[in-house]
């Protein structure tokens, strides 16, 4: 019988994490369970920093960005001894199951706890949208809209000065944000970790756009692409006379994470939070809760371990045609 659960957030913060915490807590309260929040991710498990969370404690956090529980890197948790200490602290608190909200690294940590015998359930949350087991993850929609707003603004100033802007967005191993924000923002080019970029061809396309009278050019670059914003800027600096446009670089960085979650992320997080509680009630552990189509699903940890979700080839081709 489940009586007590704990919830933590781990890895990079994503808009909607607080909405997920709220949903987990309130759905647990509905079932008569006691809920603890773990401070600062897996580090909090090792340090034994647990605090009771009830309906009142999670009131007013639905619209807040970031995570009220905090997040931190924890090298000690990567060791067997560290994880044994985490489980010992969970057991001392009488916790029956743990909910981990986060991306690939966080779910890998949750999987290790599950392998050592502790019941865990994951909730898919990362702005990179690279987590297998969910069509879209918490934080993606808000991060995309923040990137898109920046692209739209930069396009205005680029047109005023006949410039080309290279806009770098997050995406170390997955170019989802770059692809979708570039497509939605009408970028002239997009560079992705998944697709090889020919900078010479890109320079020729910029020159053609300039000669055809375009007042601006926008290139969206994923931070993990071979030709990210820094490398493209260096390459174009050596070919400045050929481009026509003057080049400016803007790196959006962590501003993409910091926004208040939009409606979609608040709703998605609420659904996934309830899905985690439902999985615990069924006794289904060692799984990630995500969304497939309109359905909330669970995927075993072993099916997502070491995998990165691939981009849709048709969307990549569409972006190429429309640029």
Question: In this predicted model, what pLDDT tens digit does every residue of 222-277 receive, in sequence order?
Answer: 999 999 999 998 888 876 667 778 889 999 988 888 889 999 999 999 999 999 99
Catalytic residue numbers read: 128
How far apart CA 165 and CA 153 sit, in angstroms, is 11
How far apart CA 165 and CA 187 sit, in angstroms, is 10
**Residue 188 or 245, more confident:** 188
| Beta carbons within 8 Å of 232's beta carbon, 6+ residues apart | 166, 191, 199, 202, 219, 221, 249
Contact 269, 256 (CB under 8 A): no
Give residue 58's pLDDT band: very low, low, confident or very high (50, 70, 90). very high
- Beta strand spans in 54-137 (E): 97-102, 120-124
pLDDT digits (tens, 9 = 90+) for 100-147: 999 999 999 999 999 999 999 999 999 999 999 999 999 999 999 999
Q: Tokens at residue 102, please? A: 């986060």
Report the chain's mean pLDDT, rounded to a whole number: 93
Contact 123, 289 (CB under 8 A): yes
| Beta carbons within 8 Å of 228's beta carbon, 6+ residues apart | 168, 191, 221, 222
pTM beyond 0.85: yes
Closest CA to 10 of 56, 54, 68, 70: 70
- Beta strand spans in 87-127 (E): 97-102, 120-124
Domains and CATH numbers, the chain: 4-139+261-304 (3.40.50.450), 142-257 (3.40.50.460)
């Amino acid at each position: 019988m489940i009586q007590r659960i704990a919830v933590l957030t781990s890895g990079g913060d994503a808009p909607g994490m607080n909405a997920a915490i709220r949903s987990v807590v309130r759905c647990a309260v509905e079932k008569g369970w006691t809920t603890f929040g773990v401070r600062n991710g897996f580090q909090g498990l090792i340090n034994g920093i647990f605090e009771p969370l009830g309906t009142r404690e999670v009131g007013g956090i639905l619209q807040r960005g970031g995570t009220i529980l905090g997040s931190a890197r924890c090298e000690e948790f990567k060791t067997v001894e560290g994880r044994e200490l985490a489980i010992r602290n969970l057991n001392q608190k009488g916790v029956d199951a743990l909910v981990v909200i986060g991306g690939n690294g966080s779910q890998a940590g949750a999987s290790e706890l599950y392998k050592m015998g502790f019941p865990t359930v994951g909730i898919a949350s990362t702005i990179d949208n690279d987590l297998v087991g969910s069509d879209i993850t918490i934080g993606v929609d808000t991060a995309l809209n923040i990137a898109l707003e920046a692209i739209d603004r930069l396009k205005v100033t680029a047109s005023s000065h006949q410039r080309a802007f290279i806009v770098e967005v997050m995406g170390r191993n997955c170019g989802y944000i770059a692809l979708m924000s570039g497509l939605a923002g009408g970028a002239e080019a997009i560079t992705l970790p998944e697709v090889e970029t020919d900078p010479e061809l890109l320079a020729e396309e910029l020159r053609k756009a300039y000669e055809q009278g375009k007042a601006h050019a926008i290139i969206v670059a994923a931070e993990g692409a071979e030709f990210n914003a820094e490398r493209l800027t260096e390459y174009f600096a050596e070919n400045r006379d050929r481009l026509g446009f003057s080049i400016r670089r803007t790196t959006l960085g962590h501003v993409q994470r910091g926004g208040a979650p939009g409606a979609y992320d608040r709703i998605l997080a609420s659904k996934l939070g309830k899905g985690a509680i439902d999985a615990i009630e069924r006794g289904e552990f060692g799984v990630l809760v995500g969304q497939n189509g309109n359905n909330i699903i669970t995927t075993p940890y072993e099916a997502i371990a070491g995998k990165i979700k691939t981009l849709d080839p048709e969307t990549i081709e569409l972006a190429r045609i429309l640029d």
